[in-house]
């Protein structure tokens, strides 16, 4: 995921407005850290990260002049889509992109995280598949 965040930064770095007022960090540093944070969240929390392109663009858009924002949006959406495609193609080996073991997204009756290995299509273990079905019904209703 590091490659995607750096690729976004490299493509838009020349358009950054160095005069952007940021407390404690430069505009370049803010853009780079925002790109890295978005990719980290995308790799670890895809089910609860609905619009990563919009989130990243909103985090960094004030660092660019209005004339460059269309280019920034295009670069961000292109690379986020490529990162999502890459994550979809990863082999399902019971580990995330960082090598950490996967666990079910549900919690037990005691309130602790479920420790079972989730199914690849929705992130829930076989015991908690009913939760995935209720999510689908909520999306259809909305």
The two tokens of residue 25 are 């960090």
122 burial type by CB count under 10 A (0-12 exposed, 13-18 middle, 19+ buried): middle
- Do the domain assignments include residue 96? no
CB 35 within 8 A of CB 79: no
Number of domains composing the chain: 2
Considering the domain architecture, whether residues 82 and 135 belong to the same structural domain is answered as no
List alpha helices for 1-142, DSSP H. Answer: 2-12, 27-44, 52-60, 69-89, 129-141
Considering the domain architecture, whether residues 52 and 30 belong to the same structural domain is answered as yes
Q: What is the pLDDT along the chain (142 residues), one digit of tens a residue?
A: 789 999 999 999 999 988 776 777 888 999 999 999 999 888 877 777 889 999 999 999 998 999 999 999 999 999 999 998 888 776 555 666 666 677 788 888 888 888 888 876 777 888 888 887 776 665 565 5
Considering the domain architecture, whether residues 68 and 111 belong to the same structural domain is answered as no
Q: Which of 41, 27, 40 is nearest to 72 (CA)?
A: 27
């Amino acid at each position: 995921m590091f490659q995607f965040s750096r690729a976004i930064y490299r493509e838009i770095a020349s358009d950054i407005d160095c005069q952007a007022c940021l407390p404690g960090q430069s505009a370049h540093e803010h853009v780079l850290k925002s790109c890295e944070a978005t990719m980290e969240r995308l790799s670890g929390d895809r089910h609860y990260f609905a619009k990563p392109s919009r989130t990243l663009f909103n985090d960094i858009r004030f660092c660019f002049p209005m004339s460059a924002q269309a280019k920034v949006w295009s670069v961000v959406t292109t690379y986020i889509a490529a990162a999502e495609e890459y994550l979809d193609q990863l082999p399902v080996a019971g580990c995330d992109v960082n090598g950490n073991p996967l666990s079910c997204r549900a919690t037990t009756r005691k309130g602790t995280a479920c420790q079972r290995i989730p199914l690849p299509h929705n992130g829930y273990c076989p015991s908690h598949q009913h939760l995935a079905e209720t999510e689908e019904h909520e999306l259809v209703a909305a």
